[in-house]
Amino acid sequence: MIVGASSGIGLAAAKKFIESGDIVYNCSRRKSPLEGIKNLTLDIVNTPDIRQRVEEIMENEKRLDIVVNCAGFSMAAPVEYVKSEDYRYLFDVNFFGAIELIKAVVPNMRPAGGKIILISSLGGVTPIPYDPYYSASKAALNILAEALSFELEKQNIYITSVMPGGTKTDFSFKRKIYKEEEVKQYEDDFRNAVSSLQHIEQKGMPAEAVADTILYVADLPNPPLIVASGIKNKINNGLYKILPRKVTHAITKMRYNLRP
């Protein structure tokens, strides 16, 4: 079961699972274009939808071995002017939807065990200027995976948070970006940050590389709790852990072309 296999990382992962001979369900608002995939309509913020789709899969297949949650929403806005309905929706998609998904699949995985893979982001470790809500939601996914492992591993259910860095997908162009009149005095830094983020993503790793990490995790008997996807992201993740915060803060400001 892949939540969000209609595009981007989810689509790339679904293709590789199908090529491996797996039965793959795409659960998203839009159909996946892949031949051989089974499409079920799902809005991750609608809890009854989640439960119904899991029940349908169990009715059809009698088992659920791997769940990959690729649902995501990104938004650029200064905190002074951000609308509460926007950041609450972001957390509904990126974090609370993941919790409801896990709640729905765990009872069905318990008899035979399984893997739950959450697509987080290196942005959950290295903060993204003017999109702190996205960074915070992905950091929350990371700690969620670590904490839930204490509950789930005894049931032979393994949970992993996979952290891509900048990835070249259409996600860059679906981000909600506040307009000039909405960001006011933050305009210069805001536009630099948004432009830099899009550049980082579009010059980043292909979705297929992240999909390889997902399949790697899915095949491991005892996968890691958190894993960065790609050598460059593993290095960046490691450096962020050991470098002083003032240093990483200065690097981030330069990376996003923020004024001193």
How far from 28 is each of 5, 189, 220, 248, CA to CA, in Å?
Answer: 7, 34, 26, 36
174 annotated active-site: no
pTM of the predicted model, to two decimals? 0.95
**201 domain residue, yes or no:** yes
CATH of the domain at 232: 3.40.50.720
Sheet of 38-41: strand order equals 38-41, 25-28, 2-3, 66-69, 114-119, 157-163, 226-228
120 annotated active-site: yes
**260 domain residue, yes or no:** no
Query: What does the pLDDT read at residue 116?
Result: 98
Query: What does the pLDDT read at residue 79?
Result: 98
Query: What range does the domain containing 113 cover?
Result: 2-255
137 annotated active-site: no
Q: Which entry of 6, 74, 172, 196 is annotated as an active-site residue?
A: 6
8 Å CB contact between 165 and 228: yes
Number of structural domains, the chain? 1
**91 domain residue, yes or no:** yes
- Both tokens of 136, joined, read 């915070």
Q: Which entry of 74, 120, 121, 137 is annotated as an active-site residue?
A: 120
- Both tokens of 111, joined, read 């008899």
Low-confidence ranges of the chain (pLDDT < 50): none
Q: Which entry of 87, 130, 133, 134 is annotated as an active-site residue?
A: 134
**56 domain residue, yes or no:** yes
**10 domain residue, yes or no:** yes
135 annotated active-site: no
**148 domain residue, yes or no:** yes
Query: What does the pLDDT read at residue 259?
Result: 86
pLDDT digits (tens, 9 = 90+) for 153-185: 999 999 999 999 999 999 999 999 999 999 999
**79 domain residue, yes or no:** yes
Query: What does the pLDDT read at residue 65?
Result: 97
**250 domain residue, yes or no:** yes
Q: Which entry of 87, 130, 138, 161 is annotated as an active-site residue?
A: 138
Query: What does the pLDDT read at residue 260?
Result: 80
pLDDT digits (tens, 9 = 90+) for 16-45: 999 999 999 999 999 999 999 999 999 999
Dihedral in degrees, nearest 10, Cα atoms 120, 126, 129, 135: 30
